[in-house]
Amino acid sequence: MSADQDPKDILKNMPYEPMQAKIIESHPLTEWERFFRIKLDNKKELGHMPGQFVQVSLFGQGEAPISICSSPTEKGFFDLTVRRIDSGSVTPALHRLKKGDVVGIRGPFGSSFPLDKMQGNDILIVAGGLGIVPLRSLIHYILDKRKDFGQVHILCGCKTPKDMLYGDEISTWEKRADISFQCTVDRADPDWKGNVGLITGLIPGVTLSLKKTYAVVVGPPVMYKFVIIELIKKNIPENQIIVSLERKMRCGLGKCGHCQIRNVYVCQKGPVFTLVDLKEMEGECHEGECRAK
C-alpha cells in the first residue's frame, strides 16, 4: 500500500469487508432458534445457491457462520435461522436484534447442492434437527421449480415436537399432492399425532427409482452413519448421496485453517460433499470433528 492510499479504499469490494444489511423481519421459532429476514442495503441480491452460508457480523461482538435458509428464487431478501449458543457472544447478541437493526454480511461462501445434476431426477431429502435449516433453501428452490424435478420425498426428524422448526411451512408441505412428506420425533408429547422413532425408520418405506435418485442428508453427526447405511441398502449410488458438513469456520475464505480436514478446507470445497468425496478425503470427518449445518 502506498502512502497516499486510504486503507478504506484497499478494503472496498474485498471479501473481508462486510456488506451492510438490515433486518426486515425477526421472530422466535423455538426457545433456541430465531428467524431473520435480511435485506442488503445496496439493494443487490445476495447471489447465493442452496447449501451456501454467510458470515454474519455484529460490530464490537464478532462474526459467526450461518446457513442461508431461503432460495435464490426469492428476490429482495434472504433468510437466516440462528441457534443461540449461550457460551458464545455473537448468537446471543443476534437474538436480541429486532426489525430495523443492522448487521454485517460477508459471502455467500462454500459449495452448494449440485442442482444442475439433480434436475430431472427424483429427490430424497433427509433432515435431522437443525439440518432442516440449509435444506429449507433447497426445498423452497425445488418447490418453486417443481416441474424441473421428478418425485420429491422429504423426511424430517427432531427430538421433540417443540424442537420442530418452520411448523407452519411443514403443515403446508404435508398437504401438497406433488411431494411426499413424513415427519417423526424421538419423543412425543400428549398432543403429537405423528410418527415416533428415529428418522432411519422412515427410509425403508420410501419407494425410489434408484439410478435417478439424489439423496440429500443434513443433520447431527451421529445421524449420518445410520442414514447412509439405509441409503446404501436402497442401492443409491454413492456419488448421488450428498451431505453437508460444518467445521469451526472463521474466515470463510480458506485462509485461517480452522475448518481444515487434512488437505481440505470445508468452507471452500464444502460444506456440501458427496459420499464419494468424503471417502476420498484424507482424514475423513469423524463424529465429534464436524457437525451438520
Mean pLDDT value across residues 252-279: 82
> Could you tell me the three cell numbers for 29?
421459532
What is the per-residue pLDDT for 290?
A: 41
> Quick one: 249 and 170 in the same domain?
yes
What is the per-residue pLDDT for 4?
A: 60
Does position 87 have pLDDT exceeding 90, yes or no? no
- The pTM of the full predicted model, rounded to 2 decimals, is 0.89
The reply to whether 161 falls in a domain is: yes
Give the range of the structural domain holding residue 126, as residue numbers without chain letter.
115-280
In sequence order, what E strands does 120-269 have?
122-128, 152-158, 180-185, 195-196, 213-218, 241-244, 260-261, 264-265
Does position 16 have pLDDT exceeding 80, yes or no? no
Question: What is the per-residue pLDDT across 170-219, written as a single tens digit (0 to 9) for each?
Answer: 999 999 999 999 999 999 988 888 899 999 999 999 988 877 999 999 99
> Quick one: 12 and 93 in the same domain?
yes
Does position 146 have pLDDT exceeding 80, yes or no? yes
> Quick one: 188 and 276 in the same domain?
yes
What is the per-residue pLDDT for 6?
A: 62
Number of Cα atoms under 13 Å in the Cβ half of residue 34: 17
> Quick one: 59 and 192 in the same domain?
no
What is the per-residue pLDDT for 285?
A: 45
Q: Which domain-ending residue is among 92, 108, 124?
A: 108
Q: What is the CATH number of the domain that holds 30?
A: 2.40.30.10
Q: What is the CATH number of the domain that holds 225?
A: 3.40.50.80
Among 119, 161, 108, 165, CA closest to 142: 119
> Quick one: 100 and 155 in the same domain?
no
> Quick one: 28 and 93 in the same domain?
yes
What is the per-residue pLDDT for 288?
A: 40
Q: Which domain-ending residue is among 73, 108, 143?
A: 108
Does position 2 have pLDDT exceeding 80, yes or no? no
CA distance 70 to 24: 14
- 108 sits in which H/E element: strand 102-109
Does position 70 have pLDDT exceeding 60, yes or no? yes
> Quick one: 125 and 93 in the same domain?
no
The reply to whether 291 falls in a domain is: no
Higher per-residue pLDDT: 9 or 268 = 268
The reply to whether 292 falls in a domain is: no
Mean pLDDT value across residues 151-171: 94
> Quick one: 165 and 125 in the same domain?
yes
> Quick one: 178 and 71 in the same domain?
no
The reply to whether 2 falls in a domain is: no
What band does 8 get if pLDDT is binned at 50, 70 and 90?
low
The region that residue 208 occupies, defined by phi over 0 for left and psi between -120 and 50 for alpha, beta otherwise, is beta
> Quick one: 104 and 128 in the same domain?
no
> Quick one: 142 and 231 in the same domain?
yes
Lowest mean pLDDT among 46-50, 145-149, 232-236, 245-249: 245-249
The reply to whether 235 falls in a domain is: yes
Q: Which domain-ending residue is among 57, 80, 108?
A: 108
Q: Are 167 and 136 in contact (CB under 8 A)?
A: no
What is the per-residue pLDDT for 13?
A: 61
Q: What percent of the chain has pLDDT over 90?
A: 70
CA distance 232 to 215: 10
Total tally of structural domains belonging to the chain: 2
CA distance 199 to 127: 8
